[in-house]
């Protein structure tokens, strides 16, 4: 967590649900922004009902993307609720939404209305395919973005089925690009005094993450495919199985390759013409893989990791989620935190990787109950009195 909280004093109205939008706004909260999550009365974010559920009935999934926020209920299907939202916009800096394109306009709170209420407002729209283009209105989930964006086609074993990444990289990439765009828009607003409408598409973000796959296709004219855990241009750079378990190593330059050969007791490989350079090793990767795989299978993983660590060869065991939860290095950096939950003290949530060097600060780990802050926010920002709040609640506007 960035100790000085660069976004302190910035107010965000969060209209998002499930993962891409909530993860984006959670990072803004970690940087000090006041994030007010606007939810449907009586229903809230769909992810409030996603497993795993705690004994209290609260969703741990929801906690993982909504810490540090306030919750206000507003039924935006109603014109009076939309008017209240626009009042809040006049006192805010950022709106983040991940509805299907056109939904904000149907609610009467499209960018034009937001800008009229507050010319400096920044609207960040996160969607599957963007606000423009022939697919703009199509529905999308993380797996759709991973599939159409090429990620799944290059993930998996050679000759095997395409595989979805084990984390929701389609959602998370869009969230993080949304954060980058918002920070840039705040800088522009500080300089020029105007807001803007940001258009973040999950598919765009997947294409942006293809790193060298597009370059290899352009240069070689061959469609990249699934190659397991190995790297297409660096060898060896993959997982191996010791006699008892898996581990990974990477030899990204000739000096590391030389140390690797000595460390594992195969110095003769350094003089093998097939493996003289990284380009040679990559061209002959089936041969080097067989040699190393057979050799590593003769000893336990701990033996190889000790030897490789001593030789300063990048390597690691393949950690389980349980291993990560108990990793002392991550604990020392406040990355494994006990969540603030009144009835389930064993809930673990990730900390924030956004840190100031030397800081020991931790982010808020509590997530709001549905509508918990409705009265407080409307009283603080709009000076609504208890009588008006009671009337709005009676009419199911809040």
For the annotated catalytic residues, the residue numbers are 231
Q: Which are the contacts of 203, defined by CB distance < 8 A and separation ≥ 6?
A: 128, 129, 130, 135, 140, 145, 148, 149
Q: Which two tokens stand for residue 330?
A: 């991550």
Angle at 352 between CA 155 and CA 381, to 5 degrees: 120
Q: In angstroms, rounded to a whole number, what is the distance separating the alpha carbons of residues 39 and 368?
A: 11
Query: Sheet of 122-127: strands edge to edge?
Result: 69-73, 34-39, 11-14, 94-97, 122-127, 196-201
Q: Which two tokens stand for residue 81?
A: 């609720």
Q: In angstroms, rounded to a whole number, what is the distance separating the alpha carbons of residues 110 and 239?
A: 49
In angstroms, what is the C-alpha Rg of the chain? Answer: 25
**Are residues 27 and 174 in contact, defined by beta-carbon separation less than 8 angstroms?**
no
Nearest to 186 by CA among 119, 111, 120: 120
Q: In angstroms, rounded to a whole number, what is the distance separating the alpha carbons of residues 282 and 230?
A: 10
Burial class (CB in 10 A: 0-12, 13-18, 19+), 398: buried
Nearest to 136 by CA among 146, 144, 128, 124: 128
């Amino acid at each position: 967590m960035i100790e000085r909280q660069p976004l302190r004093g910035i107010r965000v109205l969060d209209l998002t649900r499930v993962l891409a939008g909530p993860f984006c706004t959670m990072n803004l909260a970690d940087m000090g922004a006041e994030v007010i999550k606007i939810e449907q009365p009586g229903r809230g974010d769909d992810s409030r009902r996603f497993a795993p559920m705690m004994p209290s009935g609260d969703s741990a999934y929801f906690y993982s993307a909504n810490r540090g926020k306030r919750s206000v209920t507003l039924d935006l299907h109603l014109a009076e609720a939309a008017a209240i939202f626009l009042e809040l916009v006049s006192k805010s800096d950022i709106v983040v939404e991940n509805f299907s394109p056109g939904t904000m306009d149907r609610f009467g709170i499209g960018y034009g209305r937001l800008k009229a209420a507050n010319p400096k407002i920044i609207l960040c729209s996160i969607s599957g395919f963007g606000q423009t283009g022939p697919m703009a209105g199509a529905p999308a989930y993380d797996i759709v973005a991973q599939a159409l964006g090429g990620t799944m086609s290059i993930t998996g074993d050679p000759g095997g089925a395409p595989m979805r990444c084990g984390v929701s990289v389609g959602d998370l990439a869009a969230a993080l690009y949304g954060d980058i765009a918002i920070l840039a828009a705040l800088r522009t607003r500080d300089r020029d005094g105007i807001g803007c409408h940001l258009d973040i598409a999950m598919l765009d973000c997947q294409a942006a993450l293809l790193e060298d796959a597009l370059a290899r296709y352009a240069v070689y004219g061959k469609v990249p495919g699934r190659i397991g855990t190995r790297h297409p241009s660096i060898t060896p750079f993959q997982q191996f199985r010791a006699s008892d378990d898996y581990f990974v190593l990477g030899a990204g330059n000739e000096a590391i390759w030389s140390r690797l050969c000595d460390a594992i007791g195969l110095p003769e490989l350094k003089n093998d013409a097939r493996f003289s350079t990284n380009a040679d090793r990559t061209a002959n990767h089936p041969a080097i893989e067989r040699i190393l795989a057979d050799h590593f299978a003769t000893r336990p993983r701990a033996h190889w990791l000790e030897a490789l660590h001593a030789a300063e060869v990048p390597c690691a065991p393949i950690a389980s989620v349980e291993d990560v939860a108990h990793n002392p290095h991550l604990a020392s950096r406040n990355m494994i935190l006990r969540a603030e939950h009144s009835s389930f003290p064993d809930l673990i949530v990730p900390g924030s990787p956004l840190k100031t060097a030397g800081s020991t600060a931790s982010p808020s780990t509590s997530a709001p109950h549905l509508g918990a802050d409705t009265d407080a926010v409307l009283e603080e920002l709009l000076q609504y009195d208890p009588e008006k709040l009671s009337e709005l609640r009676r009419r199911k506007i809040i």
